[in-house]
Chains A and B, each alone.
Chain A
């Protein structure tokens, strides 16, 4: 059981470039989330999805886009990368039951220079 798989682990982008962070889970979870983690700021929710074809904005969605065409995959797209998007990004998933924990990927460290 792989759990939540994120790729790539590290990436350096130039200002204005675009990229997609990949996230896949094999637990048949309906709920998936993208967070960014900045030092001293905790985890901020970027986007989330409660099922295939359904996505919604979190606290800090500007500069990002998502899609959810399948239950398994939830890619995060960065358009026109900016230095403010330098961060560690975590994908997570859970079942729809409220008392169930989040399962986290190992993270993507992104630098925009």
Chain B
């Protein structure tokens, strides 16, 4: 069965530092991969997605992610953290089962320290 693994349920960075949130996946078919962000007491919003084509994907708020098939990874990065980036981030996958099910990782809470 398809799965998503997010390493690090909590990540702390200083304001202005690099943000790196890790996501690895398992799928027996070519996957579609997504990163969502959740602010407190809200639903999830799309940050970016990988479908096909260019492996480096740019999203909103300066985030980007690189799809690496050989490493089955889709890590999320941002060069310089801002206080407003503090939120929970979820990696998700659409793949097996006729591209019907959407599987999520456990989420990573990002804390930004002033």
Residues of A within 8 A of B (CB): 4, 31, 33, 35, 40-43, 45, 48, 50, 56, 58, 90, 92, 94, 98-99, 101-102, 104-107
- How far is the CB of B88 from the nearest CB of chain A, in Å? 9
With A90-B43, A101-B49, A106-B42 in contact, is A48–B32 under 8 Å at CB?
A: no
- Contact for A42 among B45, B49, B90, CB less than 8 A: B90
With A45-B103, A48-B100 in contact, is A98–B32 under 8 Å at CB?
A: yes
- How far is the CB of B47 from the nearest CB of chain A, in Å? 10
Question: Which residues of B in the span 1-57 have a Cβ within 8 Å of any Cβ on A?
Answer: 6, 9, 32, 34, 36, 41-46, 49, 51-52
A residues near B63, Cβ cutoff 8 Å: none
B residues near A33, Cβ cutoff 8 Å: 102
With A58-B101, A101-B34 in contact, is A40–B106 under 8 Å at CB?
A: yes
Known: A43-B44, A104-B43. 15 other contacts (CB 8 A): A31-B100, A42-B6, A42-B104, A43-B104, A45-B103, A50-B100, A92-B43, A92-B44, A98-B94, A101-B34, A101-B46, A102-B34, A102-B102, A106-B43, A107-B43
- How far is the CB of B29 from the nearest CB of chain A, in Å? 10
- How far is the CB of A99 from the nearest CB of chain B, in Å? 4
- Distance in angstroms between the alpha carbons of A102 and B36 in the assembled complex: 9
